[in-house]
Amino acid sequence: MPSATHLILHGKVQGVFYRDWTVETARGLGLTGWVRNLPDGTVEAQLEGDEGTVERMIEAMRDGPPRASVERIERRDTEPQGFDSFARR
């Protein structure tokens, strides 16, 4: 059974290629879902896949790409939506 997690990432996460890095990293791990910027300067993401792989992705997202600085991640487990791929919204 796939795991699904909704995230809001706070810090310096816009204008630093965070979304592109997230798409590349998530696809590399075989995850599905999406990532997008929000108007308040945060990044929102939905991750779906094997529970262990989702956890590895969240750990990687704490660092993100080189110019990012993640201060805090809000996390909420959700029901899987059954996405076919990982997309940038």
pLDDT tens-digit series, residues 59-80? 999 999 999 999 999 999 999 9
> 63: domain range?
11-88
The single residue listed with the structure tokens 């956890």 is 55
Residues forming the active site? 19, 37
pLDDT classification of 40: cutoffs 50, 70, 90: very high
Residue pair 61/35 in contact by the 8 Å Cβ criterion: no
74 lies in a domain?
yes
For 2, which DSSP code?
Answer: -
Q: Please count the structural domains in the chain.
A: 1
- This prediction has a pTM of 0.95
1 lies in a domain?
no
80 lies in a domain?
yes
- Whole-number percent of the chain with pLDDT over 70: 99
Residue positions counted in the chain: 89
57 lies in a domain?
yes
